[in-house]
Amino acid sequence: MASGVHHPPNPPALHSFQSAELLVESLALFVVKAQKEAIDRKGRFTIALSGGSLPKMLKGLIDNPAVKWDLWQVFYADERVVPLDDPDSNHLLCSQELFSKVPIPKENIHAIDVSLLDDLEELSDAYEKELIREFAQKDAARFPVFDLILLGMGPDGHTASLFPGHPLLTEEDRWVAYIEDSPKPPPKRITFTYPVINHAARVAFVAAGAGKADMLSKVLDHPEEGLPSSRVRPVYPGQLYWFVDAQAAAKLELPPTDFKL
Ligand SMILES: O=C(O)[C@H](O)[C@@H](O)[C@H](O)[C@H](O)COP(=O)(O)O
């Protein structure tokens, strides 16, 4: 992939839908298109997921014959440091909402190593090594280039486990970092850093509901405030997308762009 050093980032593509149902349908088409492009090019699809409402929003992928589950390699953009059967686990949530309902091979889903739950540093290093195994040599880059990273936005503008004012916002080297003091429980988490998120080929936020309207307007209309979600700006030629419903978009100044595949 070409270096983005001399090229400004692409402007975000904002796709707003009249209903959450239309958003779900369009998101599935979008993911399938990203999958097809990746598989046509290199025979596999690397994707990272988040928790919150996102896994449910991916239900358009269930019973979808266009999805080549055996060619997916799934990572978590952030994960709570809890056992995989704990109700706080993003892996559990994604399994309940999606993976238990589709024919994806278990070994294609990269969960945290639960033998390391007591040592955050070791745990995040191990997850970073898991990424290196998947990406090193193959994409031959200083940072992994995910085909797609899917994110949510919290009420304080956080994304993944990158929270406002946290020192992790300026991490430049690590691929995976840990935090012990998340303002939102549970306190212990690991998270992709910005260099990983911002080297992806595509990053898509998914945000629905009136509760997102004020924060969405801050994040998109006032990026200069530097909220964690505003700092997601994939380097060229990476592309940032926002998939939102009309309620979430209600207070935006930025006009939406047409959703065309
Ligand atoms: O870190 C967490 O504790 C949450 O998982 C959080 O990051 C969530 O993804 C966002 O708050 C968006 O949540 P919704 O998608 O549910 O609005």
Atom of ligand 1 nearest to the CA of 212: 17
Q: What is the pLDDT of residue 141?
A: 64
Position 259 in a domain: no
Give the distance (Å) from ligand 1 centre to CA of residue 80: 11
Q: Is residue 260 part of a domain?
A: no
| Model confidence pLDDT, tens digit, residues 87-109 | 999 999 999 999 999 999 999 99
Ligand 1 centroid–CA 77 distance in Å is: 12
Decide: 55 in ligand 1 pocket, CB within 6 A: no
CA of 260 to the centre of ligand 1 (A): 27
Residue pLDDT, tens place only, 42-77: 999 999 999 999 999 999 999 999 999 999 999 999
pLDDT tens digit string along 151-191? Answer: 999 999 999 999 999 999 999 999 999 999 999 999 999 99
On whether residue 7 sits in a domain, the answer given is: no
Residue 237 lies in a domain: yes
CATH at 175: 3.40.50.1360
Ligand 1, atom nearest to 158 Cα: 7
The interface predicted TM-score of the complex, written ipTM, equals 0.95
* Residue 249: partners with Cβ closer than 8 Å, 6 or more residues away: 14, 16, 213, 216, 256
Q: What is the pLDDT, as a whole number, of residue 142?
A: 86
Residue 164 counted as domain residue: yes
Q: Which domain holds residue 75?
A: 14-249
Secondary structure, 3-state, 24-80: HHHHHHHHHHHHHHHHHHHCCEEEEECCCCHHHHCHHHCCCCCCCHHHEEEEECEEE
The response to whether residue 53 sits with its C-beta less than 6 Å from ligand 1 reads: yes
Task: State the Cα–Cα distance between residues 130 and 99, nearest whole angstrom.
Answer: 20
Q: What is the sign, positive or negative, of the torsion defined by CA atoms of 128, 134, 138, 143?
A: negative
- How much is the mean pLDDT over the chain? 95
Number of domains in the chain: 1
Tell whether ligand 1 has an atom less than 6 A from the beta carbon of residue 184: yes
In 3D space, the residue among 215, 110, 211, 86 whose CA is nearest the CA of residue 156 turns out to be 215
- Does ligand 1 come within 6 angstroms of the Cβ of 156? no
What is the Å distance from ligand 1's center to 152 Cα?
Answer: 6
Q: Would you say the CB of residue 50 lies under 6 angstroms from ligand 1?
A: yes
Domain membership flag for residue 258: no
Q: Is 154 in the pocket of ligand 1 (CB under 6 A)?
A: yes
The 3-state DSSP class for residue 204 equals strand
Tell me the C-alpha distance between 24 and 43, whole Å: 26
Q: Would you state the pLDDT for residue 256? A: 81
Answer whether residue 124 is part of any domain.
yes
- pLDDT at position 222 over 90: yes
Ligand 1 binding pocket includes 64 (Cβ within 6 Å) = no
- Domain assignment present for residue 120? The answer is yes
Residue 259 banded pLDDT, cuts 50, 70, 90 = confident
**Atom in ligand 1 nearest the alpha carbon of residue 90:** 5
Instruction: Output 9 or 255, whichever has higher pLDDT.
Output: 9
Q: How confident is the model at residue 254 (pLDDT cuts 50, 70, 90)?
A: confident
Q: What is the predicted pLDDT for the residue at 3?
A: 53
Concatenate the DSSP letters of all residues of 67-115 into one string: --GGGEEEEESEEESS-TTSTT-HHHHHHHHTGGGS---GGGB----GG
Query: Closest ligand 1 atom, CA of 154?
Result: 11
Residue 152 CB–ligand 1 contact under 6 Å = yes
pLDDT band at 5 (very low <50, low <70, confident <90, very high): low
- On the question of pLDDT at 261 being above 90, the answer is no
